[in-house]
Amino acid sequence: MTRHVLTALTLVFAAVAGAHASTSASKDEAMAMVKKGITFIKAHGTEKGYAEISNKGGAFVDRDLYLVVYGLDGKCLAHGANPKQIGKDLIELTDVDGKYFVKERVALAKSKPAGFWQDYKFTNPVSKKVEPKTMYCEKLGDTAVCGGVYR
């Protein structure tokens, strides 16, 4: 009887872990999507690239993973989860802990153009809750192309 209970619990835990994995993107997927986004922008130009990145049903939105593009002045140029942010100067935007994450992101893009990870808190578009997030960004010209995962 105990063996059957342990087997059942193991299956339940595996199902829960599998369900979580299927709704949450990984760091490798975030890095790959940023690189894919940069390749797309280089191939198709900023107008078409930013439009596709901002398309909630497009190639750059997958579960809780989406791309954003910021100018190095803090202006949001494309956003896969919140089109209301596009065109706005977000340099002074803070997370729930008061962290100026856009200001920090722009500074990191200027100093680490090959790519970097940044931690902050943000609303998960799937759960609708503020959660810890880590964002991978790479500099492209005068912009930072970013995609993040919730932890």
pTM for this entry: 0.83
User: In this structure, which amino acid lies at residue 16?
Assistant: V
**Strand, coil or helix: 148:** strand
Arithmetic mean of pLDDT, 133-145: 97
Q: Which residue has the higher pLDDT, 7 or 121?
A: 121
pLDDT tens for 56-113 read: 999 999 999 999 999 999 999 999 999 999 999 999 999 999 999 999 999 999 999 8
Could you tell me the domains of the chain?
25-150 (3.30.450.20)
Asked if 45 contacts 77 with a C-beta cutoff of 8 angstroms, the reply is no
pLDDT level of residue 22 (50, 70, 90 thresholds): low
Q: Which residue has the higher pLDDT, 77 or 21?
A: 77
Mean pLDDT, rounded, of the chain:
87
Closest by Cα among 63, 56, 81, 51 to 20 = 63
Strand partners, 77: none
Q: Which two tokens stand for residue 89?
A: 């100067």
* DSSP symbol at 64: T
Asked if 60 contacts 67 with a C-beta cutoff of 8 angstroms, the reply is yes
Residues of the chain above pLDDT 70, percent:
85
pLDDT level of residue 2 (50, 70, 90 thresholds): very low
Closest by Cα among 77, 20, 12 to 51 = 77
